[in-house]
Chains A and B, each alone.
Chain A
Amino acid sequence: MGDADRFLIVGAGLFVLGAIGFVTRRNLILMILSAELMLHGVSLTLVTFGHLHATNEGQAFTIFTLTVAACEAGLALSLVLLLYRNSGSLDIQLWSELRESDMPAPAGGFPKEEPGTEPRVSPGYDGLPRLTPAGRVPTDPSRSSNASASTSVRT
């Protein structure tokens, strides 16, 4: 179909590269950067379609995409700072404790990097929301042996 094809393929390639990066990287910041890479691919596709149809709508959509991407970057960075504050590391693998208790461990089976990098929550830290205890404590057979992890989550 000519000239627009090449731009569409480049946009798709950027999107796919961002998807690979989001899945494979273990650094929180690089995961967010990969999501931004996917947004670049989408923007290029929108602009190409706008050029093809000779309207300004593609570029108007891209400006809104840019706005949402800026919001996303700001919010994501503050979340990353909070997670870094609680774990002392940018590794996403440390937060696999947040999965459902009946789910298996994340595939790959990485050994812990070094001892002492588990998510630690300092007891005096008041930045986390505190929920009022209500009802009885649910029994969790799969984690009853792992007492330290459950207390750190519940604190």
Chain B
Amino acid sequence: MMQWMTGHPVSVFGLILWAAGILWLMPGTKIAASRPRIPGLVMSTLGVLALCGSAGAGQSDLAASFLFWLFAVGALVSGVLMITATYPVYSALWFAVVTLCTCGLFVLRSAPFLAAATIIVYAGAVIVTFLFVIMLAQQSGAAGYDQTSRQGKMATISAFVLLGAIVMAVQTPAAAGSPVVAGDAVAGDAVAAAPAVSNPATVANTLSLKDEQHEVGNLKGLGRSLFGDYLYAVEMAGTLLLIACIGAIAIAPRREQGTL
């Protein structure tokens, strides 16, 4: 761990700066006059930039690189603003921004259909229903419990220890002979240079693999994977939706006339 910390000082610096920004923005345990939000925002943004910038530029061209920075910084900073906003309506709207930026990242990872589906499901359905409930329940603005937080310092510090562990695991080169490297027949640093096409002999779900007609992420390939390899799972997902629908109707309170 010390080796990683001395080898990646920019990552450690970004993590600490980001955590400090969240701690600055987090409302305290008592209702008080809010601090100015700009310093926390600047700290969070610089931390995110340092953390993502330390991960190596890769071989992407300028446009893809610009789009990555736009969407990544947008998603992470909007997430920070979402969990620290004192008005729940603002939180829901920042969550919509996070969803849009995540869908942009999906497109960059060649998943255009998934991006469209996520926007439709989240921005179209989930956020609208959540905003509906917030506006039904809190018609008089922010309540006292929205302006305070529970255990903000402990939660932030422990969560960033977890994030540091994940970043360390990502940035540590894979040891030779680990299962991923052996299965893909490529070594360590070459994974990104040559996208590892898995050996069909070692993969159970051969319909999901990429070939000439079925690129990764287009509708043809994704449909072949879903309705070929995962047909039973699709049926079970449909059943799950039906059961959840029945359950939601059964749990929701009966409505008296003219009330919630």
Residues of A whose CB lies within 8 Å of any CB of B are 1-10, 12-14, 16-21, 23-27, 29-30, 32-34, 36-37, 40, 43-44, 47-48, 50-57, 59-60, 62-64, 66-75, 77-82, 84-85, 89-93, 106-108, 110, 113-114, 127
Contacts and interface: CB of A to CB of B under 8 A. Distances in A.
A30 B111 CA distance: 28
7 A-B pairs with the lowest CB-CB distances in the bound complex, closest first:
A2-B192, A3-B58, A21-B83, A71-B244, A56-B225, A78-B252, A17-B79
A48 B108 CA distance: 10
Contacts of B111: 47, 50-51, 59, 62
Contacts, number: 307
Contacts of B233: 64
A52 B160 contact: no
Looking at B83, B159, B240, the one whose CB has the most chain A CB atoms below 10 A away is B83
State the majority secondary structure of interface residues on B: helix
Given A14-B102, A107-B151, A56 B217 contact: yes
A110 B83 contact: no
Given A13-B48, A63-B117, A81-B260, A29 B88 contact: yes
B131 to A, nearest CB: 9
Contacts of B4: none
A19 B166 CA distance: 14
A10 B145 contact: no
A57 B205 contact: yes
A93 B148 CA distance: 11
A49 B205 CA distance: 16
B149 A24 contact: yes
B152 interface: yes
22 contacts: A1-B171, A6-B55, A9-B51, A9-B55, A9-B166, A14-B98, A17-B159, A20-B156, A21-B82, A25-B149, A29-B133, A30-B88, A30-B91, A47-B109, A55-B225, A59-B222, A71-B243, A75-B251, A78-B247, A78-B248, A82-B253, A114-B144
